[in-house]
Amino acid sequence: MSNRMRALFAVAAVFLASAALPAKAQHYPMKPVRMIVPFGAGGPADVFGRIIAQHLSEQLKQSFVIENRPGAGAVIGTDAVAKSAPDGYTLLVMSNTHTTNESLLPTRPYQLMRDFAAVAPINSSDLLMVAHPSAGAKTLKEFIAVAKAKPGQLNYASSGPGTPYHMAGELFKAMSETNIVHVPHKSSGDMRSSVIGGHVQMMFDAITVMAQGVRSGQLIGLGTTGTTRSTVMPEMPTVAEAGVPGYEATIWLGLMAPAATPKPIVDLLNAEVIKIMSRADVKEAWAKQGAVPMPMSPPEFDKYLRADIEKWAHVVKVSGAKAE
């Protein structure tokens, strides 16, 4: 083969390689896409994941299907995505559970920033601290007083180690100087059932899910976890103003894909998710639930994730939180 022919083949190969990446996005998706939620049904990741899936299905003319795979503090479902082909057809609906797990669960079978690509954050919302009436407290200060009078006798529920509900509880214990026992559950539904049934005295839950439970009288609202009062429950004081100055804990959600997923597909998904959260009807519906959109590019989300990993590593160290 002549040198000229070799040069022509080389040019052609470069052209085909450069043309292949955009083509992957142009023809994506060509089959249903699985969005794995590593948490139980009914929680924020499941609820908002389904909203994103519905709109992606409409916008991209292909089915985006939610698959709940809870267990082991989100590790089971997350590991399944990590082991999936990096082709854009298996995505992870994740939360700050994942950034916490980086320090709380050192033996997990994956590393978030090694095995996943940041696609897009979805939204963030405050949590709501609630107690069963049997705890004997109607305000946060009363609950703290009961907890200090009965060290190790009150329990709080979470949907598993590393979840925002767990870390909110550990941060509360550290800042209020109380000894309350963590009772992890397999899912957020199990967690709620335990507290509503009076088997566990307290929990932190998404305000988007639990506001009605407080207003119906099932549970006692003790405080919201943002820096300002929630628009969903403006009558409820924050934990910081009700008795634990400086306290803040939120839950945020995002979308990731297996590492090495082609950049054009990641960029396409990011653009489509931003398009969803920019819709007036979506913003209005989310605002009523106390959820704030988080539009970011993939590099911005990557930076956000790395900073959150550092933040929760510090909280884990200071609080002494353990993965029971």
Q: For 17-30, what is the mean pLDDT?
A: 63
C-alpha 118/C-alpha 300 separation (Å) is: 9
More reliable by pLDDT, 210 or 245: 245
Q: How confident is the model at residue 7 (pLDDT cuts 50, 70, 90)?
A: very low
Which domains, from first to last, does the chain contain? 23-124+252-319 (3.40.190.150), 126-242 (3.40.190.10)
Most confident of 72-76, 130-134, 288-292: 130-134
pLDDT at residue 154, rounded to an integer: 96
Q: How confident is the model at residue 234 (pLDDT cuts 50, 70, 90)?
A: very high
More reliable by pLDDT, 316 or 61: 61
pLDDT at residue 211, rounded to an integer: 87
- C-alpha to C-alpha distances, 47 to 25, 37, 121, 122, 208, nearest whole angstrom: 27, 10, 15, 12, 10
Picking from 106-120, 204-218, 237-251, 258-272, which range would have the lowest pLDDT averaged per residue? Answer: 204-218
Question: Is the Cα torsion angle 262, 264, 270, 272 positive or negative in sign?
Answer: negative
pLDDT at residue 289 tops 90 = no
pLDDT at residue 44 tops 90 = no
Q: For 280-302, what is the mean pLDDT?
A: 94
Q: Which residues make Cβ contacts (< 8 Å) with residue 4, sequence separation at least 6? A: none
Q: For 34-51, what is the mean pLDDT?
A: 92
pLDDT at residue 1, rounded to an integer: 53
Q: What is the pLDDT of residues 86-114, one digit of tens each?
A: 999 999 999 999 999 999 888 899 999 99
Place of tokens 């949590």: 127
pLDDT at residue 3 tops 60 = no
Q: Are 154 and 181 in contact (CB under 8 A)?
A: yes
pLDDT at residue 55, rounded to an integer: 98
More reliable by pLDDT, 227 or 34: 34
Backbone dihedral angles phi then psi of residue 269, each to the nearest 5 degrees = -60, -40
Q: How confident is the model at residue 324 (pLDDT cuts 50, 70, 90)?
A: low
Q: Are 324 and 161 in contact (CB under 8 A)?
A: yes
| Percentage with pLDDT > 70 across the chain | 92
Q: What is the pLDDT of residues 192-206, one digit of tens each?
A: 999 999 999 999 998
Q: For 148-159, what is the mean pLDDT?
A: 95
C-alpha 258/C-alpha 240 separation (Å) is: 38
Q: What is the pLDDT of residues 172-187, one digit of tens each?
A: 999 999 999 999 998 8
More reliable by pLDDT, 55 or 16: 55
CA 314 to chain centre: 19
Global confidence as pTM: 0.79
Q: What is the pLDDT of residues 110-134, one digit of tens each?
A: 999 999 999 999 999 999 999 999 9
pLDDT at residue 2, rounded to an integer: 53
Residue type, 288: K
